[in-house]
Amino acid sequence: MSTRVTPVGGLTDEQVHSVVIAATSASLLRNSQSWRFRCIPGAIGLYADTARTVPVADPDHRELLLACGAALFNLRLAIRALGVHPAVQLLPDPNQPDLLAIVRLQGRSPAGPVDRRLAEAPPRRRTNRPPLAPTTVPLSLLNGLRQAAKIEQAWMATLDAAQLPILRTLIAQAHDTQQHDPAFVAEWSHWTGRDPASADGVPAFEPELLIAVIGSFHDLPLAHLQAGQAMQRVLLVATIAGLSVSLLSQVVAVPATRKQLRELIGGGLWPQVVLRLEYGSPMPLTPRCDIEDTEVSIMLVGDHGRL
């Protein structure tokens, strides 16, 4: 194990590595790790990596902030599992818009059972895309998933059987809009190396499917970071319960279909991402950059560094 990382707030360099690795196992955006971590003695800074943005598909960085929010949730959780309290300040400096959060390490006490269980889930979580078995999610689990979103200052709305055909139409519309945009097609191929026609497609929806929308109460960067953390908490609660989840972001990425989806879920929430939850077979892990070899994810600063 490399010893190059600045120890943070009493964590050893190995522990700093482990919490950053946990953070980077969050859901990715178009297979790119659009985050950076900067360690100083008392804190870890989370930065957006704006060199890895997708300006056509995500012009206002909304999806980038969702992905970074998910990484932040994993980071908080991994720190908490080590018995340290992570005090998080979101968007702390208006002069540094890429500095998304400062996580200060404050005080020690053993993590409770909920945090310990959640902290074991990130290595097992992965996005599941193939069609799976129809699902009846027990009410207690559904309430647990809703509660997970609420704890992170967001909301999880679910769609009933009558709303699923409308969602399917909206996804088809969003897919069509993106396919007819040459700039989107070029950007998609660049980031994924795949033919965009094979991108997400329009999934079939069985009436028993659990389709949920993670929504926020406003649509500013702060809400996107909160929704990303909520998404990750929901994904980990689902992972522990043995549910597979796929993410459907097309319908939210296209403004016209996002507006209609917003109406479909009652008009009050801003939809951020659609989740499809099913019981299914495990998927292989999507590889991440090796932070020790590449230093892609961690920036190092000296003992007196500032974020």
Binding of residue 247 to ligand FMN (CB under 6 A): yes
Binding of residue 33 to ligand FMN (CB under 6 A): no
Q: How far is the CB of 12 from ligand FMN (least distance, A)?
A: 27
H-helix or E-strand spanning residue 45: strand 43-48
Dihedral Cα 158, 153, 104, 30, nearest 10 deg: 40
Binding mask 149-188 for ligand FMN (x = CB under 6 A): ----------------------------------------
Tell me the CA distances in angstroms from 292 to 4, 25, 200, one per residue in order.
9, 15, 32
Q: How far is the CB of 285 from ligand FMN (least distance, A)?
A: 7
Beta strands 35-40 and 298-300: pairing type? parallel
Tell me the CA distances in angstroms from 177 to 20, 186, 278, 285, one per residue in order.
37, 14, 28, 31
**Other CB atoms within 10 Å distance of the CB of residue 305:** 15
Nearer to ligand FMN, 199 or 299 (CB): 199
Q: How far is the CB of 245 from ligand FMN (least distance, A)?
A: 9
Among 74, 244, 250, 297, binds ligand FMN (CB under 6 A): 250
Closest CA to 197 of 211, 216, 178, 218: 178
Binding mask 199-228 for ligand FMN (x = CB under 6 A): -x----------------------------
Burial zone of 296 (CB within 10 Å; 0-12 exposed, 13-18 middle, 19+ buried): middle
Nearer to ligand FMN, 31 or 136 (CB): 31
Binding of residue 273 to ligand FMN (CB under 6 A): yes
Binding residues with ligand FMN: total (CB under 6 A): 19
124-143 residues in contact with ligand FMN (CB under 6 A) are 126-127, 129
Binding mask 51-80 for ligand FMN (x = CB under 6 A): ------------x--xx--x----------
Nearer to ligand FMN, 6 or 244 (CB): 244
Q: Where are the alpha helices (DSSP H) in 82-135?
A: 113-120
Structure tokens at 242: 């043995």
Binding of residue 28 to ligand FMN (CB under 6 A): yes
Burial zone of 282 (CB within 10 Å; 0-12 exposed, 13-18 middle, 19+ buried): exposed
Cα–Cα distance measured from residue 214 to residue 157, given in angstroms and rounded to the nearest whole number: 7
Binding of residue 31 to ligand FMN (CB under 6 A): yes
Q: Which residues bind ligand FMN (CB under 6 A)?
A: 27-29, 31, 63, 66-67, 70, 126-127, 129, 200, 246-250, 273, 286
